[in-house]
Amino acid sequence: MQPIDLRSDTVTHPTPEMREAMARAAVGDDVYGEDPTVNALEALAAEMTGKEAGLFVPSGTMGNLTAVLSHCGRGDEVILGTQSHTFLHEAGGISALGGVHSCQIPNQPDGTLALEDIRAAIRTEDIHHPVSRLLCLENTHNDCGGVPLSGEYTRSAAEIAHQHGMAVHLDGARLFNAATALGVSAADLAAPVDSVTFCLSKGLCAPVGSVLCGSGAFIGRARRIRKQLGGGMRQAGVLAAAGLIALEKMTLRLEEDHRRARLLAEGLQTVPGLLLDKGMPLTNMVYLALSEAVPLSAFRIADRLREDGILVGPRDARHFRLVTHYWIDDPAVEKTVSAFRAALS
Ligand SMILES: *Cc1c(COP(=O)(O)O)cnc(C)c1O
């Protein structure tokens, strides 16, 4: 039996339709720019994010790294959130590989960076200072509970950066979840920023890949950086074929995942000992905390759930993150609530 895997939406397997499209995909050498399926994916991604051009990359991490290295030189500074994926979960790549300095400012509970904090972080002209070159935002904000950031907020933050000659990059790993939750288009949310990445391989179910989008000139630079990082792939059309279905079809069904996240949260809220750590989910992530009365650790509870065929992600000894996706149906939600109830009783 397939486990009910709520650890992340990265665990999603490709759909049967994707597997068929992958088998049939027209391919070519993408480093030569000759893979028609990759070219089609990049064009569609650019159109859907409202940018001139797109670049298919193997992962979201490489998409963000490529973006930062395309915007910044060694010793330049990027302003980002203390809870941002790029700061916390990308192995320090921007510093290790790009020599890019980071200025971290606190994320607010709603995933935003306070506008006054951004203003205060921007360096003045002084030879002692690194040059503030880039502002990075994240939408949805993963560690802040999968919260969507409004286009209005993004516009205000980007305006400050642009006034100071800085560029803005949006880590939109789950940009389409944000757009769905807010009832706007991905292009609306990305309009104020200079570059944006989103993942095909999370809630959109493709097996591999992200797309970085921006102006034609920016993507031209990014194409060289991707090659430098070893991310130039050859007959990548077999992967892009799944990505096309991800964009054309899977973006249309994300509300189902959000509805199930709410259903899961409502159910788990009734289990004694469980608290919704970051409120009712707005997208596909449910963050849970154990109340002080619970003697078991989150790791121990996760072990018990595993015996029932349910995989959840303990974040530490007292917290979990559960993520809904294409392969989680209504019965899986019910079973998960029952299993938590049994494990805690
Ligand atoms: C998953 C994720 C990434 C990176 O994606 P990978 O494909 O796992 O490298 C970047 N940003 C955020 C917010 C993410 O959740």
Same structural domain for residues 203 and 73?
Answer: yes
By most ligand atoms within 8 Å of CB, the mutation choice from 65, 85, 137, 138 for ligand 1 is 85
Q: If you ran DSSP here, which 8-state letter would residue 55 be given?
A: E
CA of 63 to the centre of ligand 1 (A): 9
- Is the Cβ atom of 85 under 6 angstroms away from ligand 1? yes
Ligand 1 atom at shortest distance from the alpha carbon of 58: 7
Residue 187 tokens, joined: 């292009």
**Is 5 a domain residue?**
no
CA of 60 to the centre of ligand 1 (A): 5
> Whose alpha carbon is nearest atom 10 of ligand 1?
60
Domain's final residue, options 221, 251, 281: 251
Same structural domain for residues 72 and 219?
Answer: yes
Residue 85 tokens, joined: 């994926």
Measured CA to CA, the distance from residue 232 to residue 206 in angstroms comes to 19
Ligand 1 atom at shortest distance from the alpha carbon of 61: 9
CA of 91 to the centre of ligand 1 (A): 12
CB atoms within 10 A of CB 52: 14
- Is the Cβ atom of 138 under 6 angstroms away from ligand 1? yes
Say what the pLDDT of residue 200 is. Answer: 98
Q: Helix (H, G, I), strand (E, B), or coil: what is residue 294? A: coil
Same structural domain for residues 103 and 129?
Answer: yes
> Whose alpha carbon is nearest atom 3 of ligand 1?
60
Sheet holding 313-316, edge to edge: 274-276, 285-290, 319-323, 313-316
Domain's final residue, options 228, 251, 274: 251
Tally of domains within the chain: 2
Q: Among 212, 205, 340, which Cα is nearest to 267's?
A: 340
CA of 345 to the centre of ligand 1 (A): 35
- Which residues in the chain come in under a pLDDT of 50? none
Same structural domain for residues 186 and 324?
Answer: no
**Is 3 a domain residue?**
no
Say what the pLDDT of residue 87 is. Answer: 98
CA of 197 to the centre of ligand 1 (A): 9
CA of 167 to the centre of ligand 1 (A): 21
Domain's final residue, options 251, 269, 304: 251
- Is the Cβ atom of 171 under 6 angstroms away from ligand 1? yes
Residue 138 tokens, joined: 């994240």
- Is the Cβ atom of 65 under 6 angstroms away from ligand 1? no
Same structural domain for residues 247 and 263?
Answer: no
Write down the mean pLDDT value for the chain: 97
- Is the Cβ atom of 61 under 6 angstroms away from ligand 1? yes
Q: Which domain holds residue 208?
A: 10-251
Could you tell me the CATH number of the domain that includes residue 68?
A: 3.40.640.10
| Angle at alpha carbon of residue 50, lines to 44 and 56, rounded to 5° | 45
By most ligand atoms within 8 Å of CB, the mutation choice from 86, 138, 140, 142 for ligand 1 is 142
Say what the pLDDT of residue 2 is. Answer: 85
Same structural domain for residues 290 and 233?
Answer: no
Bridge partners of 298, per DSSP, are none
Say what the pLDDT of residue 1 is. Answer: 65
Give the β-pairing of 195-199 and 210-214. Answer: antiparallel
Residue 204 tokens, joined: 């959109």
